[in-house]
């Protein structure tokens, strides 16, 4: 019997290498009752070397105390901007090229993750070449600790990987309020099997692969309630959920920005170049920023709905001057062909300074996506009208994008 089981495992490996997305032979044999649960476990026990689509190539030590998975992701994009004023642009870009290594060491509850962008490392701005570098320890599902460089949990669309979107990229609102990657520590967990999740932590506040010498830090917190069951952070209902899923979230972020000169700061956080800008305050000033957000997501039978409202306030210490911003987006998607073809529409509104009139920006965008293997292999295209309101010459620019993605 054992020989039959071993032979079945070898056949499964061959078939798996031919089609990583198909069921393995041992899965089929188990479903048909040809082999028992015990036989199934023996065949599928940890292998020294394995591959799974989307998870990469995995190496495991014989004593199973160490494991390393190596993989990557690439996005290739074409963008044509039909501008109402000024020169039209046509751009080809390798938008994101990521290589990653992850696994566990000594204990399966002690995991690590390292991700970098070799394309960025090849340029002069090497600080953004290192994406993530952290280690996790799971005490229980309800309490896990992460330390290192990683993305904060401010904003649902920011938490979602840019490789798991319904559109070619995130909304202008999410981009304006994002803090991005930073170095710090967080406590997070799932409660009651995912009916609720939370994240609370502290960052250095200087941004991606940067540190600063002041005693200022950034603090963040996020909580999400999933009353109908755990919902993964990804856009689109690719699996065509048989039961409805609902997630309601809220988050908060506080950071202090130290001015070095009238137009430069010690923080590389993305929101400095977003809604806050670099001209607020004077040289050697401090700017205290508070950002808040609420979001909702729903999935059922191929339909996906998502919306988010974000607002922020920045206060100059020396003068008490305030700058306030807010924005929202709402989007809907539907799988026309389950697991293969989907469409989506999004509307975004951003007011980067609520005390100034005629400075808003809106986006109306439609997208179509074809999924060869979920988000692991897909082609997306979207068309957007981007309206920029000004006092003198408001503009309506058209944007056309096509993007191909592969995760391996």
Please compute the mean of the pLDDT values over residues 118-130 and round it to a whole number. 82
Query: In degrees rounded to 5, what are phi and psi of residue 30?
Result: -70, -45
What DSSP element (H or E) covers 121?
A: helix 118-121
Mean pLDDT, the chain, rounded, equals 89
- pLDDT tens for each residue of 10-46: 444 433 433 444 466 667 777 777 778 777 766 666 6
Coil, helix or strand at residue 17: helix
Q: Give the whole-angstrom CA distance, residue 360 versus residue 237.
A: 31
Q: Give the tokens for residue 30.
A: 């188990």
User: 242-277: per-residue pLDDT in tens?
Assistant: 999 999 999 999 999 888 887 777 765 555 658 888
Q: Mean of the pLDDT values across residues 281-304?
A: 94
Q: Spell out the residues 6+ positions from residue 134 whose beta carbon is closer than 8 angstroms to its own.
A: 112, 113, 146, 147, 148, 149, 150
Q: How far apart, in Å, are the Cα atoms of 313 and each of 104, 128, 378, 390?
A: 40, 26, 38, 22
With beta carbons less than 8 A apart as the criterion, state whether 231 and 297 touch. yes
Which domains are delineated in the chain?
A: 1-45 (no CATH), 46-407 (2.40.160.10)
pLDDT reported for residue 89: 97
Arithmetic mean of pLDDT, 359-382: 97
Give phi and psi for 320, each to the nearest 5: 80, 5
């Amino acid at each position: 019997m054992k020989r039959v089981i071993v032979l079945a495992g070898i056949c499964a490996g061959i078939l798996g290498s031919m089609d990583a997305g198909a069921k393995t032979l041992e899965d089929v044999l188990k479903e048909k009752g040809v082999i028992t649960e015990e036989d199934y476990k023996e065949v599928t026990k940890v292998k020294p070397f394995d591959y799974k689509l989307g998870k990469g190539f995995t190496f495991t030590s014989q004593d199973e105390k160490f494991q390393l998975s190596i993989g990557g992701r690439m996005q290739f994009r074409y963008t044509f901007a039909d501008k109402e004023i000024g020169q039209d642009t046509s751009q080809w870009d390798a938008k994101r090229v990521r290589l990653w290594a992850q696994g566990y060491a000594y204990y399966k509850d002690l995991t690590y993750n390292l991700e970098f962008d070799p394309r960025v490392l090849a340029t002069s701005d090497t600080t953004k070449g290192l994406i993530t570098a952290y280690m996790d320890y799971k005490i229980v599902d309800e309490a896990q600790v992460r330390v290192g460089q990683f993305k904060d949990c401010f904003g649902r669309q920011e938490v979602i990987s840019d490789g798991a979107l319904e559109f070619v990229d995130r909304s202008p609102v999410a981009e304006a309020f994002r803090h991005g990657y930073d170095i710090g520590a967080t406590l997070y967990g799932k409660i009651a099997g995912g009916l609720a999740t939370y994240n609370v932590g502290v960052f250095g506040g200087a941004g991606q692969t940067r540190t600063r010498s002041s005693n200022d830090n950034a603090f963040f917190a996020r909580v999400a309630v999933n009353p109908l069951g755990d919902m993964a952070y990804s856009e689109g209902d690719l699996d065509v959920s048989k039961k409805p899923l609902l997630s309601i979230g809220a988050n908060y972020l506080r950071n202090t920005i130290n001015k070095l000169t009238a137009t430069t700061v010690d923080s590389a956080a993305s929101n400095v170049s977003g809604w806050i800008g670099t001209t607020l305050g004077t040289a050697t000033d401090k700017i205290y920023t508070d950002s808040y957000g609420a979001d909702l997501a729903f999935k059922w039978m191929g339909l996906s709905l998502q919306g988010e409202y974000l607002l922020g306030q920045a206060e100059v210490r020396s003068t008490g001057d305030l700058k306030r911003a807010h924005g929202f987006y709402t989007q809907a998607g539907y799988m026309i062909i389950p697991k293969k073809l989907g469409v989506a529409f999004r509307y975004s509104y951003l007011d980067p300074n609520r005390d100034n009139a005629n400075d808003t920006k809106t986006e109306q965008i439609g997208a179509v996506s074809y999924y060869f293997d979920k988000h692991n292999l897909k082609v997306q295209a979207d068309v957007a009208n981007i309206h920029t309101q000004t006092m003198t010459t408001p503009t309506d620019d058209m944007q056309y994008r096509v993007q191909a993605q592969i995760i391996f």
